[in-house]
């Protein structure tokens, strides 16, 4: 593959634009910590929504989707499609609550919901656990994808890719802060979207591929097309559909798909102008993320099966790729090498855009934890605004360096995805319930966090499965790891909840007064306060959660209908496509009716 002048102009022009944005906003972003991490809570819904989508583009996402499609077919994407349920619950129930909390990070939530030393420990520990450990692993996975793209498309050594891609990203992230990240995400989104769609159209129509119809009729592709798994294949049905929809979406904590909202999604909700802008941003994000983006990647993955039917064929075409980096995920990069001049520059710029958007968000979000939830809490409680900004910039650089070293040691993004899911299994229900059930306390979260992490490590690195479940009998196959961790973790944290003391009356009443969560889960706290003539209920309005859940369900049907209708239009199954398109109209109408009935309408 050879780059021409126009390709270099596109790529370096893109780099220059991003650096300009970082430098341009650096002075205002460095004014204080609220500007550096939340842009003064002044962001509109559409800009925050685009920023969320751009962040989740990532360089590892098309690689991951390609790996899933080539290995187990289109239906394997339910492993991440299931998180739409989480996303819709965040939109219609939790976005309003997060914005009302007015905290600086989602970990600061612990300071208003829990009390005492357990809450203090939880906040500081998770600042390092999530802000450093999880964050570095996530960024390393993204950087690994960049390494594979650089190796296949440009013949670059891993360290060259890491240094060249990471240097510019860390510079503009450290300088521009959150405002620089969000402003650059606006441009990164359109570049990334144009590259993904343009690449899919061109590659499907390559002479050696033969066009869309030829792809759909190819023997290597036919068995991979189904959007739903084979219902006659019990294992595929359980692993690809039942576990994600029945368990995974609510039980697992995963960056970008946190039950109840959290992480960089919460950061953007907290940066919104008001509650309605927080709701609008998350709804817009979910539409773009699930309904509009998957199919360009899926089409490229299917087309790659025509040219590179297996990993051996990829290795044959790219012998310089080291064996430890070989895998089905390389097929996406391999297909990109076939792009023509001009489009190649756009696609390379789009891949760089995806990388920079994700990494810059992770850097700013992770450093916000380090500054607000560790440095200011543990090291320097009297830190000035200038000191906090400086620590934020320093931690941004350190996080980038750590993730770069880890990326050089990783091999497979799919393994990282599964590991992160396992680490968070069983914790998600706490993040959903802690807003609406007074009995949840800091010990609930501490025990859940440690038990899920320990179980994930034991199942990954020891013979625990063999000792406990004798898999040769089929009693406990490997796909059952996630439900097992979820069940055991849930038992542990529920036990811890009831054997430890609840949060104090003062803490619970203060939280209720500030957030007004409502519902039967707080009835005991409200009744006791009334008996003691303490007023904590600000309004007698009807509890909005039931309407929020109705809106969530309508939103889920709407977005899945759009996504699947698009797929069946592409497949040429027009009868099913028309039926799903009609369902889109009906579900949109229902959603509008439910939404209008809610108090806070965007």
pLDDT 10s digits, 377-436: 888 999 898 899 899 899 999 999 998 888 887 766 556 666 666 777 778 889 999 999
Answer whether residue 19 shows pLDDT above 70. Answer: yes
Q: Is 591 helix (H, G, I), strand (E, B) or coil?
A: helix
User: Which residues touch 529 (CB under 8 Å, ≥6 apart)?
Assistant: 505, 509, 512, 535, 536
Least confident range from 53-57, 68-72, 401-405: namely 53-57
pLDDT, position 600: 47
pLDDT at 602: 38
Identify the pLDDT of residue 255.
65
pLDDT at position 256 is: 67
Rounded Cα distance between 537 and 518, Å, is 9
Look at residue 2 and tell me whether its pLDDT is greater than 90.
no
Yes or no: say if 361 and 173 are a contact pair by the CB < 8 Å rule: no
Average pLDDT in the 10-21 region? 80
Mean pLDDT of 462-476: 51
Cα angle vertex 455, ends 452, 458, to 5°? Answer: 150
Q: Which residues are CB-neighbours of 453 under 8 A, at least 6 positions away?
A: 423
Q: What is the CB neighbour count within 10 angstroms for residue 410?
A: 18
Report the alpha-carbon distance of residue 230 to residue 200 in Å, rounded: 26
Q: What letter would DSSP give residue 103?
A: -
Percent of the chain past pLDDT 70, that is, above it, reads: 92
| pLDDT computed for residue 268 by the predictor | 87
Query: Phi, psi (5° rounding) for residue 520?
Result: -65, -25
Residue 328 confidence class, pLDDT cut points 50, 70, 90: confident
**Higher confidence at residue 506 or residue 339?**
506
- What is the pLDDT averaged over residues 17-30? 76
Among candidate residues 328, 175, 94, the one with its CA nearest the CA of residue 183: 175
List pLDDT tens digits, range 148-197.
777 777 777 888 888 877 887 888 788 888 888 888 888 878 888 888 89
Residue count (the chain)? 602
In the predicted structure, residue 439 carries a pLDDT above the cut 90: yes
Per-residue confidence (pLDDT) for residue 446, from 0 to 100: 94
* Structure confidence at residue 556 (pLDDT): 95
Tens-digit pLDDT profile for residues 218-227: 999 988 999 9
Outline where 205-256 has alpha helix (H).
212-217, 219-222, 234-237, 243, 249-251
pLDDT of 529 > 90? The answer is: yes
* Predicted pLDDT at 473: 44
Residue 541, pLDDT > 80, answer no
Mean pLDDT value across residues 54-72: 83
Cα separation of 205 and 294, whole Å? 19
Nearest to 132 by CA among 377, 395, 502, 474: 395
Residue 474 has pLDDT above 50, yes or no: no
SS3 380: coil
d(CA 318, CA 285): 36
The structure tokens listed for 428 are 């998600």
CATH level 2 (architecture), domain 5-411: Up-down Bundle (1.20)
The pLDDT of residue 412:
62
Q: How confident is the model at residue 200 (pLDDT cuts 50, 70, 90)?
A: very high
Identify the residue with better confidence: 546 or 243: 546
Residue 33 structure tokens: 């910590």
- pTM above 0.95? no
Q: Report pLDDT for 421.
A: 66
Q: What is the pLDDT of residues 110-149, one digit of tens each?
A: 999 999 999 999 999 988 888 888 888 888 888 887 887 7
- Distance, CA of 85 to CA of 257 (rounded, Å): 9
Average pLDDT, the chain: 85
Q: Name the burial class of residue 276, with classes exposed (0-12), middle (13-18) and buried (19+) by CB atoms within 10 angstroms of its CB.
A: middle
pLDDT at residue 330 is higher than 60:
yes
The phi, psi pair for 119, rounded to 5°, reads -65, -40
Backbone angles phi, psi at 514, to 5 degrees: -80, -45
Phi, psi of 425 (to 5 degrees): -65, 135
> Residue 514 in contact with residue 103, Cβ under 8 Å?
no
Considering only CA atoms, which of 318, 233, 224, 249 is closest in space to residue 79?
249
Q: Where are the domains of the chain?
A: 5-411, 425-503
- CA separation, residue 230 to residues 70, 218, 221, 460 (Å): 16, 19, 15, 28
Neighbours of 239 (CB within 10 A): 21
The more confidently predicted of residues 525 and 344 is: 525
- pLDDT confidence band for 264 (50 / 70 / 90): confident
């Amino acid at each position: 593959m050879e780059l021409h002048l126009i390709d270099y102009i596109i790529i370096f022009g893109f780099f220059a634009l991003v650096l300009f944005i970082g430098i341009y906003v650096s002075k205002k972003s460095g004014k204080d910590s609220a500007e550096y991490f939340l842009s003064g809570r002044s962001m509109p819904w559409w800009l925050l929504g685009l920023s969320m989508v751009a962040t989740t583009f990532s360089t590892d996402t098309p690689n991951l989707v390609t790996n899933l499609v080539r290995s187990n077919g289109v239906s394997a994407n339910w492993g991440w499609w299931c998180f739409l349920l989480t996303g819709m619950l965040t939109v219609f129930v939790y976005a309003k609550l997060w914005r009302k909390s007015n905290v600086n990070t989602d970990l600061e939530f612990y300071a208003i919901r829990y009390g005492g030393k357990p809450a203090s420990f939880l906040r500081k520990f998770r600042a390092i656990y999530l802000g450093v450990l999880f964050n570095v692993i996530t960024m390393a996975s993204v950087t690994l994808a960049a390494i594979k793209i650089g190796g296949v498309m440009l013949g670059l050594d891993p360290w060259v890719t890491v240094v060249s891609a990471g240097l510019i990203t860390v510079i503009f992230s450290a300088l521009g802060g959150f405002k620089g990240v969000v402003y650059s995400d606006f441009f990164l989104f359109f570049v990334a979207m144009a590259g993904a769609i343009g690449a899919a159209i061109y590659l499907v129509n390559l002479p050696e591929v033969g066009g869309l119809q030829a792809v759909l009729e190819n023997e290597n592709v036919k068995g991979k097309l189904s959007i739903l798994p084979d219902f006659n294949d019990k294992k595929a049905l359980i692993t690809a559909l039942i576990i994600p929809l029945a368990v995974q979406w609510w039980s697992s904590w995963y960056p970008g798909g946190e039950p109840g909202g959290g992480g960089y999604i919460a950061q953007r909700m907290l940066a919104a102008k008001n509650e309605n802008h927080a709701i609008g941003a998350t709804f817009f994000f979910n539409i773009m993320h699930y309904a509009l983006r998957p199919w360009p990647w899926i089409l490229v993955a299917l087309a790659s099966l025509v040219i590179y039917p297996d990993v051996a064929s990829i290795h044959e075409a790219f012998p310089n790729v080291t064996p430890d980096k070989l895998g089905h995920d390389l097929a996406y990069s391999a297909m990109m090498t076939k792009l023509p001049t001009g489009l190649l520059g756009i696609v390379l710029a789009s891949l760089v855009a995806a990388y920079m958007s994700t990494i810059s968000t992770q850097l700013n979000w992770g450093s916000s934890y380090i500054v607000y939830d560790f440095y200011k809490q543990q090291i320097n409680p009297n830190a000035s605004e200038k000191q906090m900004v400086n620590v934020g910039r320093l931690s941004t650089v350190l996080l980038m360096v750590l993730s770069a070293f880890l990326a050089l040691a990783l091999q497979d993004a799919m393994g990282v995805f599964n590991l992160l899911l396992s680490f968070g299994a069983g914790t998600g229900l706490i993040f959903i319930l802690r807003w609406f059930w007074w009995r949840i306390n800091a010990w609930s979260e501490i025990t859940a966090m440690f038990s899920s992490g320990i179980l994930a490590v034991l199942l990954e690195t020891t013979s625990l499965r063999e000792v406990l479940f004798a898999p040769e009998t089929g009693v406990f196959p490997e796909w059952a790891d996630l439900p097992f961790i979820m069940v055991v973790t849930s038992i542990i944290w529920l036990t811890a909840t009831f054997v430890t003391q609840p949060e104090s009356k003062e803490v619970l009443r203060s939280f209720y007064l500030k957030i007004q969560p409502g519902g039967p889960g707080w009835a005991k706290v409200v009744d006791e306060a009334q008996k003691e003539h303490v007023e904590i209920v600000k309004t007698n309005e009807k509890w909005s959660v039931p309407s929020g859940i109705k809106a969530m369900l309508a939103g889920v049907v709407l977005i899945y209908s759009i996504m699947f209708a698009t797929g069946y239009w592409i497949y040429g199954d027009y009868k099913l496509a028309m039926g799903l398109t009609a369902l889109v109209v009906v579900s949109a109408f229902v959603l509008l009716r439910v939404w209008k009935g809610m108090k806070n309408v965007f």
